[in-house]
Amino acid sequence: MSTPFKKIGLIGKHGDPVVKETIRRLCAYLKAQDRDVVLEETTSRLLEGEPLPTLPEIDLPSHSDLVIVVGGDGTLLHAARVLAKQNTLLLGINLGRLGFLVDITPDRMESYLDSILDGRYEQETRFLLEVSMGDESSTKQEALAFNDVVLHKWNIARMIEFQTYVDGQLVNDQRSDGLIVSTPTGSTAYALSGGGPLLHPSLNAIVMVPICPHTLSNRPIVIDGDSEIEIRLDKAHAEDVQITCDGQSTLPVMQGEVIRIRKAEHHVRLIHPEGYDYYSILRAKLGWSENPRNNRC
């Protein structure tokens, strides 16, 4: 299979000089492979004097067949939200910690890229969530999330009260520290820490995980991925609450507004090395391969 990747965009973790050497190696490798390379403009500042074209991040897809993201999962989450509407293919190189999304390590970067640029790779599509508040007659707020949309308190040390609806039907009245609404991709992130289940990324499903609920029977629930979720806050608590997407972007909540969360129209397209195995990643990242007998004191 011939490779479609002639033009390649590069994004590095913003403000992190640790990625500099990996980006420099990657540029040298891609130029040796006769690929056209364009750097995201903030990333280009890490490589002073490198004679490569630069573009704002939002413009990379129109000049790239593939965008390679160097950093951790957070860097790829950011790129996914910014570029999703342009149907961009993303590949991640892991310089972070866990790396559920960026699954190529720098020490094997060139060997993996040899196969990918030769047309041997796995491709998958994952969905995002869209959160909105308000309407066209007022100040409408919208944002995307690849991992999760989190309703949370921010300036108080007490629980908040809200109602949750799915497709117009009341699910529960809740007193808690908040609610995590997660995609299957995000089920290995904050939702997992909150006691939620792991969802295979191919599932068309959304998980809702309460944060420290007052009622102990209030458990995580998995719903259909095409459902629409509405959250209605107790008026007295609106000013104490924020919405955060992927732990990176925040929306203030205005009193009386209904928070709506649904699957976004656009998807994220990911490239993985040939033989990509999701369960292998879970074993490696979550320590499932460890033998308990080897951990005896």
- Kindly provide the b/e burial profile for residues 148-170, where b requires at least 16 CB atoms within 10 angstroms of the residue's own CB: bbbbbbeeeeebbebebbbeeee
pTM exceeds 0.85, yes or no: yes
State the DSSP string of 57-94: GGGGGGG-SEEEEEE-HHHHHHHHHHHGGGT-EEEEEE
**What is the domain partition of the chain in residue ranges?**
7-120+274-295, 128-265
In the block, which residue shows the tokens 């509405």? 230
| Largest pairwise CA distance in the chain | 65
CA distances 188 to 66, 209, 214, 248, Å, are 25, 12, 24, 17
**What residues are annotated to the active site?**
73
Topology of 128-265 in CATH? Tumour Suppressor Smad4 (2.60.200)
The single-letter code of the amino acid at 274 is E
At residue 71, the 3 state secondary structure works out as strand
Rounded distance between C-alpha atoms, residue 212 and residue 175, angstroms: 9
Task: List, run by run, the mean pLDDT of 10-residue segments along the chain (297 residues).
Answer: 83 86 94 96 84 94 96 95 94 87 92 95 97 75 96 87 96 95 97 96 98 92 98 81 95 88 97 94 85 59
φ, ψ of residue 240 to 5 degrees: the values are -95, 5
CB atoms inside a 10 Å sphere around CB 206 = 28
- Answer for the pair 81, 246: CB distance below 8 angstroms, yes or no: yes
Q: What Rg, from alpha-carbon coordinates, does the chain have?
A: 21
Instruction: Please work out, in degrees rounded to the nearest 5, the angle formed at the alpha carbon of residue 232 by the alpha carbons of 229 and 233.
Output: 140
Q: Tell me, what's the pLDDT at 82? A: 95
CA angle 210, 215, 219 (to 5 degrees): 40
Three-class SS state of 279: helix
Q: Which pLDDT belongs to residue 296?
A: 57
The whole-angstrom separation of Cα 283 and Cα 289 is 6
Q: Hey, what CATH class is 7-120+274-295 in?
A: alpha beta
Q: What is the pLDDT of residue 58?
A: 96
